[in-house]
Amino acid sequence: MRNPLKIGHRGAKNHIAENTLESVKQALELGVDGIEIDVHRCASGELVVFHDFTLDRMTNGSGEIAKHTLLELQQLQVEGQFSIPTLEEVLNVVDKACVINIELKGKQTAEETCRILDDYINSHGWNYDQFIISSFQSHELETVYKTHKNLRLGVLTKASVSDAIEIANSVNAFAIHPNMALITKTNVAYAQELGYKVIVWTVNDEVAITRMKSYGVDGIISDNPERL
């Protein structure tokens, strides 16, 4: 049975508020191989690490995250006690300790993500293999591919492994990232025969984790990374 990469979902989502620096630190303490985070571009142009398109579920704020400046977002609290971090703040906390899977969640996030990663690769000692850039949005992946062919891309899907492979072919992706419900032993083997890694999400209970491992997936994204 394959031992896939252990990837903490939004840090360590089931332990501490998702996509916060504290959640990222907790994932590192749990010994993950990678951490998955989400980025949006805020109204003042910076990339912030946050999952939802709106602030209402996780913070004491309201409305679309893209319509708030970084200064406004920094005044909010996540689950009453945490802050919304920037991408750079997360990278500084991780400090090359594991792989970072950056999901391009919001619109127009690709170019700024690439600019920041260029800086961390050229000036902070990181390398291309320490990043995976994933998205459901094929046009964001295409933007990365056109200018940064050394960055590893992951095609997210909750609809079809075949469709993900088709998009992966067009951007020379490193991996496909299917929802667990789409996974079979056959389609995992097929994707791997084509040269793609298969990184599955979000796998939290022991039975599902064991099943994904038996299918030979290359990585598992989990809210409970200590179970991997």
Write the secondary structure of 108-163 as one string of H (helix), E (strand) and C (coil).
Answer: CCHHHHHHHHHHHHHHCCCCHHHEEEEECCHHHHHHHHHHCCCCEEEEEECCCHHH
DSSP state of 59: B
Active-site position among 15, 40, 51, 177 = 51
DSSP state of 23: H
From CA 206, how far away is CA 110, in angstroms rounded? 35
From CA 203, how far away is CA 9, in angstroms rounded? 9
Q: Give the contacts of 1 (CB within 8 A, at least 6 positions apart).
A: 213, 214, 216
Residue 9 falls in the annotated catalytic set: yes
Q: At what angle do helices 138-147 and 161-171 cross, to 10 degrees?
A: 20
Query: HSE (CB half, 13 Å, CA atoms) of 150?
Result: 8
Other C-beta atoms lying within 10 Å of the C-beta of residue 176:
30
The two tokens of residue 16 are 């501490």
Paired sense of beta strands 131-135 and 152-157, if any? parallel
Active-site position among 9, 40, 148, 177 = 9
Catalytic residue numbers read 9, 51
